[in-house]
Structure 1
Amino acid sequence: MKIPLMMAVILLASTLGAGAASAKPPLKDVAHVRDGIIHVGMAYEISEKCGDIRARLFRGIGFLQSLRGHAAQLGYSSDEIDAYINNAAEKDRLEAIARARLAALGVIDGREATYCAVGRAQIAANTRVGWLLR
């Protein structure tokens, strides 16, 4: 089912954006976490727009949990992580980045074949996005 993965993406994206203590950069500036969320969003978008490709739900949830764990290892509290994940503006920003990256790869909004082509290419190249798809 695709809805739980998107909810997980929204939750994680919102949590990771809130401000952190002054000694740490904001979670939105932690490349591993930010880019991981973007990759999940890209995979989700492909799985929603291409009928032949599905998201690897458990792999995606596990990956999102690993991003949460990474943030915790960097010293971010659960409250800081949750604040980032629940930040609506950050969620919108990350979705826009994911869609721009998909467009740069050749996706044309409204054209399923382009989502499928990009998805298959990502799977074949075993990119992070492809790893989240089947």
Structure 2
Amino acid sequence: MRPFVLTLTLTAALAAPAFALVPINEEPVIGEKLLQGFIGDAIADNCPTMQARKLRALGELNKLRDYALAQGYPSDVVREFVTSKEEKAKFKAKAADWLKAKGAEPGKPEAYCRIGEEEIARQSLIGSLLRSTR
């Protein structure tokens, strides 16, 4: 029995590095969902006929927090990540790049409105975070 337990223990110890978490700001699911949230915010901020669905956004943020915790990220790491000014600036820049690639530019609300309407029609996460007042 002892050789089996020793083998099992060694196997688990050697496999542990394979299960190591990537830094939270590099986790793809978290990054993609946060990016979509920042895109939705930028659309709502730049289109007069779009409103942010704040309760929906809060619900999605809570789901994302739960996902991060389930992946093994400690709550203090999650909290630090979502309150980081540096990370927020990075996501805002990525959202601006995404929107620019779709034709949106600051000062041109019609492009933001068009993208918002398209995302609502696609029923994407971005669209679910927006409400059109048209």
TM-score, normalised with respect to structure 1: 0.80
Say if 2:101 is the partner of 1:108: no
Runs of 4+ residues deviating >2 angstroms: none
SS in 1 for 2:105: coil
The corresponding residue for 1:87 is 84
Structure with greater Cα Rg: 2
Q: How far 1:110 sits from its partner (Å)?
A: 0.9
Q: Work out whether 1:78 is the aligned partner of 2:85.
A: no
Report Cα offsets for 1:25-59 as digits up to 9, x if no partner.
11111111111111111101111111111111111
Q: Could you tell me the percent identity over the aligned residues?
A: 29
**Number of matched pairs:** 113
Q: Deviations over 1:36-89 (max 9, x none)?
A: 111111101111111111111111000011000000000011111112122222
For 2:49, the equivalent position in structure 1 comes to 52
Q: 1:129 aligns with which of 117, 120, 126?
A: 126
Where in structure 2 are there 5+ consecutive unaligned residues? 1-18
Bigger fraction of residues in helix: 2
Structure 1 residue 127: deviation in Å?
A: 1.4
Q: What is the Cα-based RMSD across aligned positions, in Å?
A: 1.3
CA distance in 2 between counterparts of 1:56 and 1:83 reads 24
SS in structure 1 of the partner of residue 50 of structure 2: coil
Letter in 2 for 1:71: A
Alpha-carbon distance in structure 1 between the residues aligned to 2:59 and 2:101 = 27
DSSP-derived class of the 1:54 partner: strand
Post-superposition offset of 1:105 = 1.3
